[in-house]
Structure 1
Amino acid sequence: MKRDLTIEDVEPALIGGAILGGGGGGIVETGREAVRVAMEVGTPQLWSADEFAEDDLTATIALVGAPAAPNPLVLPRHMLRTLELLREQLPPHQRLAALHCNENGAYTTFNGWLHSALTGLPIIDFACNGRAQPTSVMGGMGLHLRENYQSLQAFAGGHPDNYVEGVLTGALESTSDLVRRASVAAGGWIGVARNPVTVGYAMENGAPGAISQAIELGRVHIEGGVEATAKHLGGRIVAEGTVKDFRLVPSGGRDHGLVALDNAEATTVHFINEYMVLTHDGARISRFPELIMTFAEDGRPVTSGEIAVGDRITVMVAPVESLILSKTMFMPDLYEPLEQSIGFRFAPGTEDLAHA
């Protein structure tokens, strides 16, 4: 199916994306501003995967950086510059037929909407992953497993005094690491266009239907609030309380920290951009890629970078079965740097070990 994305889609996509961001994926107000620009300059189109040939080419549109970075700047012209740089590197016989986002989030669900509005390239109802994740390799659709695969990544962003742009080719993990370093040099965020793949490969290894899921979930939340959202996702509200401890340390282009509540169960959530592990009443009861999400007292979804001591929040969890996830979410080796940062193992298929 082909359809225009309209203003009626914006708020549901924003709210649903924020919830599926699981603490990351960009801040709500930043996402609202980004999509406002996209809707003012044109009409982005959303196409289902069956509108394309399997060998048609699509590219990932993404933002890379730390959500709480103090001085980022990624303008529309920076985002379009990344697409221009990427297209210049394609072989003469190849052309992009579509674009897709890297993940769901308050900002990241809208990755590609501006490009579609200005270039006419459609957005596929697809994301590399249907929830937000903290590393580019996790959103890389398993490309790191392809023998001799060479990643292609174009990036741009920053204020005039720290603006960076460029194109990298090489091993997926190496180029992703360099792009993340570029985001730090640019003040915290950069726009990225990367890793052209065939539609057939994307559908097999990513999260088809992710954009529609975000819009549907957003409508549920707008109409029914947090309880309706938890029910829709087959999840539950775990805790409510006041934030008594909040720690956030930017490191390596990501936000690392924890949120602790004053409730009797001593609910604590560790995050690396996204919420990673939830401890409640002395037990670790939820861990990434399960969805852990926080909501303000008025029901608004709030990300890890927006929380402060004294805030009253609600914590919801939802199972992986309710999410549209990439295969990379179940690759334990991709969790190793995250586990080293937090201090214990939590990858799927591994035992939930005590603190190191």
Structure 2
Amino acid sequence: MSKIKLTSEIVEAAVLGGCVLGGGGGGSMHEGKKIGMLAVDLSSPELVDIEDINENAILINVAAVGAPSAKNAYAEPVHYMKAIELVQKVADIKIEGIISNEAGGLATVNGWLQAAMLGIPVIDAPCNGRAHPTGIMGAMGLHKNKDYNAIQAAVGGTKERTTYTEVVAIGSIEKSSAIVRTAAVQAGGLVAVARNPVSCQYAKENAALGAIKQAIYLGKKMIEAKEKGAKEVINTVCDFLDGELITTAVIKNLHLKSVGGFDVGNLILENDFEITFWNEYMTLEKKGERIATFPDLIMTLNAETGMPVTSAEVEIGQRIALVKVKKEKLKLGRGMKDPELFKVCEDAVGKKIIEYVF
């Protein structure tokens, strides 16, 4: 049986490696560290391989949904727990493990606090081993099962600003995910979500197995490399993920707006590279030539420190290292293998994506 007791040192590594694997999204390292440290201070939850769990055990997926740059975004630790309580109450189920929705500075450790408070394990089977923009992409193909009745609970916002929101949505994956996204807008930009209970066997067949440990091991390598400087950290990321350093350059222009609970826009480097994003980085081009396309991992690192910088954190004048990892090198869940789910990405950023991926 493979178990890892989660500690403060592992939180540091998971948040760092997870942020790189977020590909521009997946939440901030600051929020991830806050939630992760609270979890390990509470009771040191365990990370368990899915092979060590009964195949009929019920797992629940947790996520943070919203626009990362939203100024009034507010989701507290109690909101993450409240979302699970709402699903348990409505579904009348016994939850035996928690899986995260994706990779990211927050997403990789999302579920650790809930697991600590419930006394159940975190299962190393996130829905995806990189971050993605839509809820349906993290549903592990459940949208294909018309008999599956999704249950999604979302909690966020503050009573002081009159943005506090609790929502429980029941129905198809598509409709319930849309309601949760709307709830994020009403809550000020962000909600803590618990959703889509599945059997351990289903997750085993459709999730990104081992992606949490991948983020932890990457983060540990990056921490070790920090003593040797930014270049060593950047090279470590490329070596670990079998990726490529595309360029190092200053951000010349940045366009960002929040639309429907998403951050959408593009950034242009001084040497004519352009990156589009819809929370996550979607496309990388130079003078119209396509270099990488989501779900390839496109990631920005601070060239002075080697630390990851998300799409919500990049700034004009910032010098970044631009890294690319081909999708074949990543741990991807079933939601990354359905061409139908990528049409909304094309609509959001105004670029062709499907023909470059499938």
Structure 2: unaligned runs, 5 residues or longer:
226-232
Q: Which residue of 1 aligns with 2:61?
A: 60
Residue 117 of structure 1: CA displacement?
A: 1.3
* CA drift at 1:77: 1.1
Q: Residue 275 of structure 2 corresponds to which residue in structure 1?
A: 269
TM-score for the superposition, normalised by structure 2: 0.94
Asked whether the 8 Å contact 1:269–1:277 carries over to 2, the reply is: yes
SS of equivalent to 1:118: helix
1:330 aligns with 2:337: yes
Aligned mates of 2:40, 2:69 — CA distance in 1: 26
Q: Residue 267 of structure 2 corresponds to which residue in structure 1?
A: 259
Alpha-carbon distance in structure 1 between the residues aligned to 2:296 and 2:91: 37
Q: Partner of 2:32: helix, strand, or coil? A: helix
Deviations 1:54-105 (A, max 9, x none): 11100001110011110111111111111111111224xx411111100010
Shift of 1:330: 2.0
Distance 1:351 1:27 in 2: 29
Structure 1 spans left out of the alignment, 5+ residues: none
Q: Note if contact 2:167-2:183 (Cα within 8 Å) is conserved in structure 1.
A: no
Distance 2:8 2:33 in 1: 11
Using the alignment, how far apart are the partners of 1:172 and 1:119 within structure 2?
26
How far is the alpha carbon of 1:152 from its aligned partner? 0.4
Quote the residue 1:203 is aligned against: 204
Give a deviation string over 1:266-287, Cα, whole Å, max 9, x none: 1110000000000025411100
Opposite residue 99 of structure 1, the aligned amino acid is I
- Cross-structure match for 1:103: 102
Q: Which amino acid counterpart does residue 324 of structure 2 have in structure 1?
A: V
Choose the corresponding residue for 2:291, options 264, 278, 285: 285
Instruction: Provide the residue aligned with 2:257 in structure 1.
Output: 249
Q: CA deviation at 1:40?
A: 2.2
CA distance, structure 2, for counterparts of residue 30 and residue 128 of structure 1: 20
Q: Give the Cα separation in 2 of the matches to 1:30 and 1:77.
A: 14
Report SS of the residue matched to 1:218.
Answer: helix
**Aligned-pair distance for 1:42?**
2.1
Give 1:5's aligned residue.
6
Partner amino acid for 1:299?
G
Distance 2:352 2:142 in 1: 24
**Which residue does 2:20 correspond to in 1?**
19
**1:120 is the counterpart of 2:119:** yes
1:103-139 deviation line (CA, Å, top 9, x unaligned): 0100011111101111101100110000000000000
1:32 partnered with 2:40: no
- Structure 2: how far apart are the matches of 1:330 and 1:79? 29
Range with bigger deviation, 6-15 or 128-137: 6-15
Structure 1 vs Structure 2 CA RMSD = 1.2
Q: TM-score, normalization: structure 1?
A: 0.95
Q: Matched residue of 2:248: which SS?
A: strand
Match of 2:229 in 1: none
Partner of 1:239: 247
Q: Which residue of 1 aligns with 2:228?
A: none
